[in-house]
Structure 1
């Protein structure tokens, strides 16, 4: 997909649930073959439609109506960011992450599995800083994870007069 224009971004709807589920499962399987999923495809699709898209702000990246990736934000948490494996070096993830940062200029936090070193490097290159680690007792996969934070682009104090 390499181009100067990049993907178009828009809000997801429940009509996108099937495509979002397919992309999520495909991307997870390719990026993290070691990760055991606690849910089957049908329950994942139900969750995408009735929880993810219904309760969070989900943005999709498209190229000629083809879904390339999506990101979900709830409050100041980036809860999901998945890119089609065939487009992971095309700037799609960065476009989605930059969009989330623009929408949450005061900062974002996220969790990423500790073994997902590619994703960790991606977030670190985008200005996120490791702020915590867990042994996985709090996630469904029981997989050690890391918490990252981006402190935002908003000024922390007013500029001096003059």
Structure 2
């Protein structure tokens, strides 16, 4: 049986990170307009996101080959992304990512979630995040209303 380890992403992980992001976004946000094509997402993750050194992956162990099944990008106190492969949701990986983020940023965290993503809102609220602001979406590329969340210890 495989288990999952969390580790920093490295350049060879970029394609798998992009795959997780794309599958998760499509499954969780089917009504939200994507601002970028698959190729643009892949290039951005490969050329910008992973090289920054702020991306973590959840990787399976105990099976060959290992697979990236989740990703989180943490930039200081900002959780920029937390996506899980749809088939790996509900297994505690998101909980582990949030615990890691709190450990790495013990003074607090903040993030955005789309208003239509009720499961994400429930998830973050369960982890102690509180809503601090709602927008009409005019400030994001998708033009989708969103919610700002913050966590303070």
TM over 0.5: yes
TM-score if structure 2 supplies the norm length?
Answer: 0.93
- Number of residue-to-residue matches in the alignment: 149
Unaligned runs of 5+ in 1: 153-162
TM-score under structure 1 length normalisation: 0.88
Q: Is the 8 A contact 1:56 1:74 kept in 2?
A: no
User: Who is 2:84 aligned against?
Assistant: 83
Counterpart check, 1:118 vs 2:115:
no
Q: Does 1:26 align with 2:23?
A: yes
Alpha-carbon distance in 2 for matches of 1:82, 1:107: 20
What's the counterpart of residue 142 of structure 1? 143
SS at match of 1:94: helix
The CA RMSD measured in Å over matched residues stands at: 1.3
Secondary structure of residue in 2 paired with 1:101: helix
Q: Distance in 1 between matches of 2:69 and 2:93?
A: 7
Q: Provide runs of 4+ in structure 1 moved above 2 Å.
A: none
Gaps spanning 5+ residues in structure 2: where? Answer: none
- Could you list the per-position Cα deviations for residues 11-46 of structure 1 after superposition, in whole angstroms to 9, with x for gaps in the alignment? 001211111111101000001100111111111011
Larger radius of gyration: 1
Q: Which residue of structure 1 aligns with residue 38 of structure 2?
A: 41
Match of 1:15 in 2: 12
User: Does the 8 A contact of 1:7 with 1:95 survive in 2?
Assistant: no
